[in-house]
Amino acid sequence: MTTPTLRNPEEITDTVDWGEIPTMIEGHSHTSGVLLHKGPEGQSECGIWICTPGYWDCHVTRDEFCHFLQGRATYTRDDGEVIEITPGTVA
């Protein structure tokens, strides 16, 4: 078995249209992406997620690891902590 390796992920163009964010507060964010790996019983997933600008309510319902390649985002936690995301951020 070989180890999966992803080179130049920002060059991936064969993404699937995942539609608009359903919890929009302002704007019309559209998402697309590709699922690269799904673990046994769906316990873990790995993929590429792309979205257009907007402001929405987001609740992460399970463990998540993100490496941001492009763009920027601001996350505001329920406790008021603000997390600024820029290219290269790992969260």
**3-state secondary structure at position 11:** helix
Same domain, 89 and 76: yes
Please state the domain count of the chain. Answer: 2
In a domain, 63, yes or no: yes
What φ, ψ does residue 30 adopt, rounded to 5°? -115, 140
pLDDT in tens, 70-88: 999 998 888 999 999 999 9
Q: How far apart are CA 73 and CA 63, in angstroms?
A: 19
Q: ∠46-22-32 over CA atoms, to 5°? A: 40
User: Within a domain: residue 47?
Assistant: yes
Convert the pLDDT of each residue in 21-46 to its tens digit. 999 999 999 999 998 888 888 778 88
Q: 72 and 53, same structural domain?
A: no
Query: Is 42 domain-assigned?
Result: yes
